[in-house]
Structure 1
Amino acid sequence: MTAGKTKTNHPKVASKRPSYLYILLTNTGTAFSRLIQCFTNAPYNHASIALDPELNELYSFGRKTARNPLNAGFVQEDIYYGTYSYYQNTSCIVLRLKVTRQEKEAVAAAIEQFGHERERYSYNLIGLIGVLLNRDLDIPDAYFCSQFVAEVLRRGGLSLWNSPEAGELPPALVTPQHFHHHPRMEKVYEGKLTDYPELDRHKLNVSYAKRYQSRTAALKVN
């Protein structure tokens, strides 16, 4: 090395930084959520997976429109302007899963594949009965929320329920509670979803204002 010069390029440092996936478990308090909670007796009954801590890239199987839980399938969820904006008292827990860069890329590719084929898939209501019976009913091309999250993790090489510590479960029997109590999951936040510190406060305020304006306009019409 030439005297007086220091080597500053470290191209391998960034690649060694840990990668994370984020699991969001929520309870909106809707009638449908309360119905599921009657059977599960769990604090959270919906699971989503995010590729970023800000939850901008958030995916699940759930309702496509806020007012109709039966119109459901693969969705990219929007905290600010999607279904969650109708339920501002939603409680949640955000979990972090440490993965390799390759695993994260594989999970992202699996999610992208679901997105490309979204019309092929339906919401697995019958599968929820299978959970109650502890039986994998193997319904083709149908998923419920936690089953979807477990499936994309599996396709990314992360079979979290295939170990002595976590037990052995197919994705069709994985519930939000299994994520909540998995030994590899690190809790980063629990509380009201709108208070999650990584959210964009400006976007939240704008979404509140638009929702208020639309409700006011509807009242004037009626």
Structure 2
Amino acid sequence: MKETRTIYLLFLSTGTLLSKAIDLYTKTNLNHVSIAFDKELSEVYSFGRKRPYNPFIGGFVKEAVTEPFFNKSMCAVYELKISNEQYLTLRQHLQMIESMQHLYHYNFIGLFGFFINYEVKRPHAYFCSQFVATMLQEIDLYPKDIRAGLTRPDDLRQWDKLELVYMGALQEYLQLPDKRRNFRLPIRSFFRMS
């Protein structure tokens, strides 16, 4: 049997004006997604704000979810089992992007294209769900026939390979003892499940 590793997809709603606007447009919540390599969420990667309180400066980010910007965030944490080979390849991809992050930008044009159902691919530019879908496609996990530039965070949440670990306030999750993070936690009723 092949050795498997676990990664996590973190879905967030930060409650910012931009976040609320996207929620309204998509009729869903938790419209930001990141890849995490540990259940403690100490190593989290995405495309988003480079400066937490400025939505117009974006790109590749290693997110520090313990920063005050995330204090009121709601979240869902899903685990995803992948092969050891996929895990190592994913890490290599992310290390390469991180080492050249000055070349990478937030795909604002692609985000606007998404809103009119037109995929805009730009070199070295992603929005969060486009980035996560692309990374998972590059390790032959997420279906390649799905257009990453038209993938919503909610599309990823609906993916049958993900297993929900937690849904609720991010700060509550971060304060859980390690042992409790090993168990499935009750789903909070204030989230709409789509």
TM range (shorter): 0.7 to 0.9
Partner of 1:55 in structure 2? 41
The answer to which structure has the higher helix fraction is 1
Give 5+ residue unaligned stretches, structure 1.
1-14, 163-167, 202-222
Show the 5 A alignment for 1:111-130.
Answer: 111-130=94-113
Cα deviation, residue 135, structure 1: 1.9
C-alpha distance 137-86 of structure 1, shift in aligned 2 (>3 A): closer
Q: How far does residue 42 in structure 1 lie from its aligned partner after superposition? A: 0.9
Question: For residue 10 of structure 2, what is the amino acid of its counterpart?
Answer: L
Alignment of 1:27-42 (within 5 A): 27-42=13-28
Equivalent residues in 2 for 1:42-191 (5 A)? 42-81=28-67, 85-158=68-141, 160-162=142-144, 168-191=145-168
TM-score by length of 1: 0.75
Show CA shifts across 1:181-218 (max 9, x none). Answer: 101110000000011157679xxxxxxxxxxxxxxxxx
Larger CA Rg, structure 1 vs 2: 1
C-alpha separation between the residues in 1 aligned to 2:171 and 2:4? Answer: 27
Aligned pairs, how many? 178
CA contact (8 A) 1:106 1:157 kept: no
**Following TM superposition, by how much is the alpha carbon of 1:150 offset from its aligned partner in structure 2, in angstroms?**
1.2
2:184 aligns with none
Query: Distance in 2 between the 1:29 and 1:161 partners?
Result: 31
Shift of 1:180: 0.9
Task: List structure 1 runs of 4+ shifted beyond 4 angstroms.
Answer: 197-201
TM-score by length of structure 2 reads 0.85
How far 1:157 sits from its partner (Å)?
2.4
163, 170, 173: which is aligned to 1:193? 170
Is the Cα–Cα contact under 8 Å of residues 107 and 126 in structure 2 kept in the other structure? yes
In structure 2, list runs of 5 or more residues that go unmatched.
179-194
Map Cα deviations across residues 6-53 of structure 1 (whole Å, 9 max, x no partner): xxxxxxxxx955311100000010011011112111111100001111
Q: Contact 2:9 / 2:34 at 8 angstroms: preserved in 1?
A: yes
CA change 1:16–1:137 in 2 (3 A) is: closer
Counterpart of 2:28 in structure 1: which amino acid? A
Change in CA separation of 1:141 and 1:197 when aligned onto 2, cut-off 3 Å: closer
Q: Aligned to 1:139, what secondary structure does the other structure show?
A: coil
**Residues 53 and 198, structure 1, Cα contact 8 Å, conserved in 2:** no
CA contact (8 A) 1:60 1:76 kept: yes
